Amino acid sequence: MKLHLECERTIHFQKVDGTQGVLKEGAQAYMHFITSKKIDIWMRATVLELHDEGLRVQSDDGLRWNFFYSDLKDVSTQKPDAVTRAEVERLINFLRPVPHTSLPDCFVQAVALLTRPYHRLTEQQAAVIRKMAMENDCDVLEDCCTGQQYTWGVADGSVQLMPLKGRL
């Protein structure tokens, strides 16, 4: 990845695949860092400061990090597939059924309860969710760590885990 820092504290970069982008202070992006200490991390970060040798970012969990540009391997506005898969796998492990819950029978009312982004499930993950729901007579599952509630169904051509806007 090639980088060029302008005086307006803007990074112009060109990735290996030839695509180009711009990062400014205050911008949010997914960034891939590989440091000299063998730390390999993808994080969604807000750019706090850009300097001649590196940048200071804040990850979504509130931690602040200083990185050299030489550590920055990739920047994207979209979450990498590997990160998405890891997040969904973590989420599946923390979901618990909310017994005897159901969404409204009216499709329009049920969809109004949902919010994006949805999480695409593999066939195996979908099977786990269906089994858990059937055994507990429920349409709603809850992340036991965050309290976020989810339902599932076919959306955008595949089985998706879909967050609810509020609690049922």
- Single out the residue of 39, 10, 15 nearest to residue 27, CA to CA: 10
Whether 103 contacts 133, CB under 8 Å: no
Task: For the chain, list the domains and their CATH numbers.
Answer: 2-76 (2.30.30), 81-163 (no CATH)
pLDDT tens-digit map of 23-68? 888 888 888 888 887 788 888 899 999 888 888 999 888 899 998 8
In this prediction, residue 30 carries a pLDDT of 86
Instruction: For the chain, state the CA radius of gyration.
Output: 20
| Residues 165, 167: Cα–Cα separation, whole Å | 7
Q: Among 3-12, 47-56, 98-107, which range has the highest average pLDDT?
A: 98-107
- Single out the residue of 113, 45, 125, 124 nearest to residue 88, CA to CA: 125
| Residues 93, 100: Cα–Cα separation, whole Å | 21
| Residues 59, 41: Cα–Cα separation, whole Å | 11
| Residues 159, 153: Cα–Cα separation, whole Å | 5
Amino acid at 120: R
For the entire predicted model, the pTM comes to 0.60
| Residues 34, 74: Cα–Cα separation, whole Å | 10
pLDDT tens-digit map of 125-163? 999 999 999 999 999 999 998 999 999 999 988 999 999
